[in-house]
């Protein structure tokens, strides 16, 4: 029989605010409905619950516990925490169903990874702690039973058989079924106190008096839950955001906040075994504007420091147009392909480190200037194309015939771009040249070698190339394009 796991994050709005605080585990915190002294308390941490309780006003709570730190919910933080709870479930199953503070997923097919369902529950709580969430885990044969199991203990496993499930439910108080206030009042008038007492009633009799909701409550008490499990596919991106208490116009405070957002986003990706393949930064600026930046990445990476450095480079290159009041990052997930090592070649750099280095170079010089050079299909000698760098796949071995050069000609070290020079021409060819860095007489000149092409592109060229032995001992390659001369490079 398949088992469903229900993961419940109580008071997720309060937990969402604590995820962004470094000292959240040490001091007493409380979530208030507003900032005024009369605002009611919505939730409190375990440390604060010794002196204050939900329902008290902020003024009353501070009078009872002066060290209490009161926070208010910000919607971007709550949305990010709810999405992180869904990512937690996606770390164990390909599809999950979310419900407010809960996430459901199939846990019965994890026997190849965990010895029993209790090990699954402990693994869920461990991963949730890495995401900054404190969760309760219930596993049962149906969705409704798993939801009830979450309310009984931090980890609760309901046996799969019908008789064992009824025995688990019978001693529980009726509050564990979470009936609405009207039904709870009616059941109290009937003298019912436990789930087992409610299970003795017939659903059709209860439906006459309490309607369909009452009948469903009886079926749930009998462990006959018929609530459907409706999983959804995961989202295409991971989003983390927050709102600032005051506007910020300098880079260092923004970088401090961004580091927390990036760390939490990467933790969510790591929970699913993924890495960051692309990052979009959206800044909320005063008074009501947005500044969206695309941060280029050459290949997926899990390095938070690299991503932060790339964002800093982007912001330092072009500062926001106004003070920033909110930040949101959108991270595109991708899988990192495993590298097959070669038995006959030395190991290359680690794929993650190489990807991070390429990402940093792409941010410094532009992603279009980083790659593996490739010969272009043209007669223009300096033409060159760049392919995406290979960061994780082994190159095939070549035999000796393929690895040897095709000829014994000398290699040329090109100047990019070619250096413009002045040339003195005589009847037999060039006799001297002068550039910004080189001045020499020409002892021997071979040429011209005429090349033309690319007339079909609208940018045709017609050149005369010369190989010259200069008085400084070097052999240069130069060409004439129209009235101008250029020094292309020198031969080894």
Among 160, 188, 223, the domain boundary falls at 160
Q: How far is Cα 396 from Cα 403, in angstroms, rounded to an integer?
A: 12
Q: How far is Cα 359 from Cα 71, in angstroms, rounded to an integer?
A: 37
Q: How far is Cα 139 from Cα 4, in angstroms, rounded to an integer?
A: 6
Q: Mean pLDDT throughout 190-198?
A: 95
Shared domain for 389 and 417, answered yes or no, is: no
The first and second tokens of residue 444, run together, are 């021997």
Shared domain for 144 and 290, answered yes or no, is: no
pLDDT at 404 over 50: no
CA nearest to 144, candidates 178, 182, 186, 184: 178
Among 132, 160, 188, the domain boundary falls at 160
450, part of any domain? yes
Shared domain for 245 and 387, answered yes or no, is: yes
pLDDT of residue 378: 81
Shared domain for 154 and 11, answered yes or no, is: yes
Shared domain for 389 and 429, answered yes or no, is: no
Shared domain for 8 and 87, answered yes or no, is: yes
Q: How far is CA 85 from the centre of its chain?
A: 14
The first and second tokens of residue 374, run together, are 């490739």
Share above pLDDT 70 across residues of the chain, in percent, rounded to a whole number: 92
Q: What DSSP string describes 334-400? A: EPPPPP---SSS-----HHHHHHHHHHHHHHH-GGG-SEEEE-SSS-TT-EEEEPP-SS-PPPP--H
Shared domain for 320 and 431, answered yes or no, is: no
Among 93, 127, 160, the domain boundary falls at 160
pLDDT at 405 over 60: no
Angle between helices 143-152 and 162-169 (to 10 degrees): 40
Residue 248's SS3 state is: strand
Angle at 385 between CA 382 and CA 391, to 5 degrees: 135
71, part of any domain? yes
CATH of the domain at 336: 3.30.1490.100
pLDDT of residue 390: 61
Q: Mean pLDDT throughout 481-490?
A: 91
Asked if 126 and 113 touch (Cβ cutoff 8 Å), the reply is: no
Asked if 88 and 128 touch (Cβ cutoff 8 Å), the reply is: yes
Q: How far is Cα 298 from Cα 194, in angstroms, rounded to an integer?
A: 60
Residue with tokens 């585990």: 25
Asked if 256 and 311 touch (Cβ cutoff 8 Å), the reply is: no
Give first-to-last CA distance, the chain, whole Å: 74
218, part of any domain? no
Residue with tokens 């200037």: 369
CA nearest to 216, candidates 200, 207, 201, 6: 207
Shared domain for 240 and 389, answered yes or no, is: yes
pLDDT of residue 339: 65
Read off the DSSP letter of residue 457: G
The torsion defined by the Cα of 41, 43, 48 and 49, in degrees rounded to 10, comes to 100
Q: What range does the domain containing 10 cover?
A: 4-160
Shared domain for 241 and 389, answered yes or no, is: yes
Instruction: Supply the mean pLDDT for the chain.
Output: 87
382, part of any domain? yes
pLDDT at 333 over 50: yes
214, part of any domain? no
Shared domain for 432 and 329, answered yes or no, is: no
Domain count, the chain: 3
pLDDT at 386 over 50: yes
Shared domain for 375 and 288, answered yes or no, is: yes
Beta strands in 297-346, from DSSP E residues, in sequence order: 324-334
Q: How far is Cα 124 from Cα 127, in angstroms, rounded to an integer?
A: 5
**pLDDT tens digits along 209-247:** 999 999 999 999 999 988 899 998 888 889 999 999 889
221, part of any domain? no
The structure's pTM equals 0.73
CATH of the domain at 127: 3.40.1170.60
179, part of any domain? no
pLDDT of residue 406: 47
pLDDT at 53 over 70: yes
366, part of any domain? yes
The first and second tokens of residue 220, run together, are 């749930």
Read off the DSSP letter of residue 67: T
Q: Mean pLDDT throughout 255-270?
A: 93
pLDDT of residue 296: 75
58 or 374: which leads in pLDDT: 58
Shared domain for 303 and 385, answered yes or no, is: yes
HSE-CB for 353 with a 13 A CA cutoff = 3
């Amino acid at each position: 029989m398949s088992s469903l796991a229900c993961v419940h994050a109580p008071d997720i709005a309060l937990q969402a605010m604590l995820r962004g605080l470094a000292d959240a585990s040490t001091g007493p915190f409380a979530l208030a409905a507003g900032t005024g002294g009369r605002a009611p308390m919505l939730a409190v941490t375990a440390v604060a619950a010794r002196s204050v309780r939900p329902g008290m006003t902020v003024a009353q709570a501070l009078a009872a516990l002066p060290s209490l730190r009161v926070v208010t919910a910000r919607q971007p933080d709550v949305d990010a925490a709810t999405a992180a709870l869904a990512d937690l479930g996606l770390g164990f199953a390909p599809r999950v169903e979310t419900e407010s503070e809960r996430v459901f997923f199939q846990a019965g097919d994890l026997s190849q990874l965990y010895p029993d369902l209790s090990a699954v529950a402990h693994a869920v709580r461990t991963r949730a702690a890495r995401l900054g969430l404190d969760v309760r885990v219930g596993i049962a044969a149906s969705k409704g039973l798993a939801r009830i199991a979450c309310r009984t203990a931090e980890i609760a496993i309901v046996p799969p058989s019908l008789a064992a499930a009824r025995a688990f439910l019978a001693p529980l108080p009726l509050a564990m079924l979470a009936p609405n206030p009207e039904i709870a009042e009616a059941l109290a008038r009937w003298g019912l106190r436990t789930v087992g007492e409610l299970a003795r009633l017939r659903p059709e009799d209860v439906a006459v008096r309490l309607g369909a909701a009452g009948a469903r409550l009886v079926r749930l008490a009998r462990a006959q839950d018929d609530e459907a499990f409706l999983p959804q596919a995961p989202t295409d991106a991971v989003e983390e955001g927050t709102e600032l208490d005051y506007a910020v116009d300098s880079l260092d405070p923004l970088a401090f906040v961004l580091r927390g957002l990036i760390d939490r986003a990467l933790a969510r990706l790591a929970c699913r075994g993924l890495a960051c393949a692309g990052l979009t930064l959206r800044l909320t600026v005063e008074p009501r504007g947005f500044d969206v930046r695309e941060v280029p990445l050459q290949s997926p990476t899990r390095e938070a420091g690299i991503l932060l450095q790339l964002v800093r480079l982007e912001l330092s290159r072009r500062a926001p147009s106004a003070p920033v009041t909110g930040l949101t990052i959108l991270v595109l997930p991708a899988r990192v392909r495993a590298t097959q090592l070669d038995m006959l070649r030395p190991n290359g750099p680690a794929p993650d480190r190489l990807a991070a280095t390429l990402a940093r170079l792409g941010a410094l010089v532009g992603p279009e200037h980083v790659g593996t050079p490739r010969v272009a299909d043209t007669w223009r000698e300096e033409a060159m194309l760049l392919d995406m760098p290979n960061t994780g796949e082994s190159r095939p071995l070549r035999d000796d015939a393929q690895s040897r050069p095709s000829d014994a000609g000398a290699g040329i070290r090109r100047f990019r771009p070619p250096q413009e020079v002045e040339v003195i021409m005589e009847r037999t060819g060039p006799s001297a040249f002068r550039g910004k860095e080189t001045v020499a007489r020409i002892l021997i000149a071979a040429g011209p070698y005429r090349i033309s092409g690319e007339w079909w592109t609208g940018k045709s060229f017609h050149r005369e190339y010369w190989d010259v032995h200069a008085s400084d001992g070097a052999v240069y390659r130069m060409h004439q394009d129209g009235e101008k001369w250029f020094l292309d490079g020198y031969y080894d």
